[in-house]
């Protein structure tokens, strides 16, 4: 493998990691905005658990511990992450209706 090919591969890997970080930041920002607007939680701590096929699963906690941990599912629509549902439990029918990929349901 010549040097220019190696540099190109390194650049592609770094770009992919940068995109993943940008994605996580956008997911967290969208989730925090939703939680602050739609719930009484004003100090959300959001952790991205998994992203697949244009969907994301995140855990939402209150920094102060005022609420039980919750799960939110998001979908990437027209370049923006949209919260589809937030709760402490989702039944299989609801996940099917939201079209959440099976790999995110665990």
**For 52-104, what is each residue's pLDDT tens digit?**
999 999 999 999 998 999 999 999 999 999 999 999 999 999 999 999 999 99
Burial group, residue 81, by CB count within 10 angstroms (0-12, 13-18, 19+): buried
Question: What whole-number distance in Å separates Cα of residue 51 and Cα of residue 29?
Answer: 15
- How high is the pLDDT of residue 6? 45
pTM of the model: 0.79
């Amino acid at each position: 493998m010549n040097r220019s090919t190696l540099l190109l591969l390194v650049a592609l890997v770094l770009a992919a990691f940068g995109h993943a970080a940008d994605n996580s930041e956008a997911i967290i920002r969208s989730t925090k905005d939703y939680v602050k607007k739609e719930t009484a939680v004003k100090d959300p701590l959001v952790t991205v658990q998994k992203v697949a096929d244009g969907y994301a699963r995140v855990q939402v906690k209150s920094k102060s511990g005022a609420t039980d941990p919750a799960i939110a599912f998001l979908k990437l629509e027209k370049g923006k992450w949209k919260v589809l549902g937030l709760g402490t439990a989702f039944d299989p029918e609801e996940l099917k209706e939201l079209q959440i990929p099976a790999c995110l349901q665990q």
